[in-house]
Structure 1
Amino acid sequence: MRSMLVLLRHELRLLASLGLWVARRRHGVGAGTGFGYARGQGTMMLGFGFVIVIESITMSVLLRNYPAVQRAWFTVDLYTLVIIIGMHAASVVRPHVLDAGSLRVRRAAHVDLRIPLEKIARVRRESRHTHERAEGELNLAIAAQTTVTLELTEPVAHFTFLGRRRDVRLVRLHADDADSFVKAVTQARNARSPLPDVSATRPA
């Protein structure tokens, strides 16, 4: 029952994201600065949608002598297409958000992790295309790629899609403009508490 409620809430967020996308509005940015991450998945999502459309047309022809089954199949395909578009819309209208006190790391409608700036020890530009699951790490890849790595001073609580808690100390994410993202987070972090001078700790 709980899983069904979680799925329903998620799908409602996707539908709400479609409305925001059409209205060209963003969710949860407020006075902060939003950083997009959806650009890298646009082609992939378009491909998924195209496959669904072709499948729907093909099955409509094959099932033309079975109108009840044809309508049911068309309904499922239409619903799947709406969900795919909703997932992309959620990625567009729910960007990462940097404000005066925290960094809000997001992916579509199912990941929303707020990290206090004082808990960010390091932020760096790092492109990775492979991500193995590891304890204490959260990988938020877009089209199998992350471009930014955050190292934290202490764990923050991340709750999975079904509500299971994971404590993470390292977060990898994707940002369309990773250089600007890293620069902005570094400046915001330094404004609160200067990062240690890493070069001073390295041997000559």
Structure 2
Amino acid sequence: MRTAVRRAACVLVRHELRLLASLALWAARRTHGADGGRAFGYARGQGAVMFGLAFVCCVETLTMSVLLRDHPTVHHVVFVLDVYTLVFVVGVHAAAVVRPHVLGPGVLRVRHAVHVDLRIPIDRIATVRRELRTTHERADGELDIPMGAQTTVTVELTHPLTHFTPLGRQRHVRVVRFHADAPAALVQALTQARTAPSPLPDRPAPA
């Protein structure tokens, strides 16, 4: 029991630190883990919702400040919680912006903010297609990573790939569905990467 609690606490701390790091990267207009690969964003699928939540948090903070002005202790506690909630909401969106999907040499890196970071070897991909889905039912061997309640790309694998949840639970998946802001471009780039000709073998230099 203690081990499980300690593990969950460590995961929570890492999660919060990554959100704060994402805010710093977002402010600096930098991305994480996209060096040497082609980045494909997915954050637009939730942008309006997250900024709406951030606005609601700001309104709530101002409202509670007025209502609790005669109770300073409670006001301070609620204010800290409201500010934390606002930072959390903005941090989640920032993490989605600075951690895009990345198509690199031999691998497709599918991500969802700081929650999912799945590396799919290109040679394990059986099919890839653009497919819009707005409803998802949990099924064995399938991993759905929706953004704004929808996925736009479906990848089927030749054999199962191991995926670990944030709490360390292991799953074996053969179908991965995720959202991309430009699904057609991602599918085209991935198709080209799968069908790219093999490099020519090295030949000895002429004497």
Asked if these proteins are the same fold (TM beyond 0.5), I'd say yes
* Identical residues among aligned pairs (%): 62
Which residue of structure 1 lines up, in the alignment, with residue 88 of structure 2? 83
The match for 2:66 is 61
Q: Secondary structure at the match of 2:195?
A: helix
How far did residue 58 of structure 1 move?
1.3
Corresponding residue for residue 190 of structure 1: 195
Structure 2 residue 13 is matched with structure 1 residue 4: no
State whether residues 118 and 192 of structure 1, in contact with CA within 8 Å, keep that contact through their aligned partners in structure 2. no
Give the 3-state SS of the residue equivalent to 1:191 in structure 2: coil
1:1-204 → structure 2 map (5 Å cutoff): 1-191=6-196
How far apart in 2 are the matches of 1:62 and 1:185?
55
CA distance in structure 2 between the partners assigned to 1:79 and 1:189 by the alignment: 44
The offset of 1:192, in angstroms, is: 6.2
Deviation digits for residues 8-36 of structure 1 (CA, Å, limit 9, x no counterpart): 00110010011110111100011100000
1:55 Cα deviation (Å)?
1.2
Contact 1:14-1:87 within 8 A present in 2 as well:
yes
Tell me the distance in 2 between the aligned counterparts of 1:13 and 1:154.
31
Quick one: which amino acid aligns to residue 74 of structure 1? F
Structure 2 unaligned regions, length at least 5: 1-5, 199-207
User: Cα distance, 1:110 vs. partner?
Assistant: 1.0
Letter in 1 for 2:103: L
Match of 2:202 in 1: none
C-alpha distance in 2 between matches for 1:57 and 1:100:
49
Residue 60 of structure 1, CA deviation:
1.1
Distance verdict in 2 for CA 1:39–1:133, change over 3 Å: same
Please say if residues 140 and 173 of structure 1, whose CA atoms lie closer than 8 Å, have aligned partners that are also in contact. yes
Deviations 1:90-137 (A, max 9, x none): 000000000111000000011000000000000000000000111111
Question: In the TM superposition, what whole-angstrom CA distance separates every residue of 1:133-172 from its partner, at most 9, and x where no partner exists?
Answer: 1111111100001000000001111111111010100000
Task: Return structure 1 stretches of 4+ with deviation > 6 angstroms.
Answer: none
TM-score normalized by the length of structure 2: 0.91
What is the TM-score when the length of structure 1 is the normalising length? 0.93
RMSD of equivalent CA atoms:
0.9
Q: For 1:43, give the aligned amino acid.
A: A
Tell me the CA shift for residue 75 of structure 1: 0.5
